[in-house]
Amino acid sequence: MGLVFTKAVNPVQSIVGMEKVKFIFGLVVLALAIMTGWQIASCELANIEFHAELRDIAAQIGAKIGLLSFSTDEELRDAVIHEAKRHDIQLESTQVTVQRTGTPPAQIIYLAADYKSRVKLPGFSFTLHFHPSSAK
């Protein structure tokens, strides 16, 4: 008969090994949470800044004080699309709403955009929907 040698398992080594696995798993979960939070926060921040830009464009301050002429609907759409590009937001002219009430110089201009931003994660992605406007 042959001799069979078995290695004795030290319970302390087993516990330390499991703690390392738990620690690594925790780091992976934390990294995914940070990645998700970062992407969502950057989309939200871009939307907040874009909302402020819409309010500035709709105000037509230069036209109200006489420095510029009032913008046409198409010029307003182009300005909104240009500002969206500055914030890495892709817009088509059909996604921009321009409404006017009143007559110049007391005219009120309402601007709105409707767009979606994609959040991409390893093995998973989802879409955030935004609808910023020049309204408060």
Residue of 93, 98, 94, 70 lying closest to 81 (CA atoms) = 93
For residue range 34-65, list pLDDT tens digits in order: 999 999 999 999 999 999 999 999 988 877 77
* pLDDT of 100 above 80: yes
Residue 121: predicted pLDDT: 83
Residue of 83, 90, 87, 93 lying closest to 134 (CA atoms) = 83
- pTM exceeds 0.85 for this model: no
For residue range 72-98, list pLDDT tens digits in order: 999 999 999 999 999 999 999 999 999
State the distance between the two ends of the chain, measured CA to CA, in whole angstroms. Answer: 88
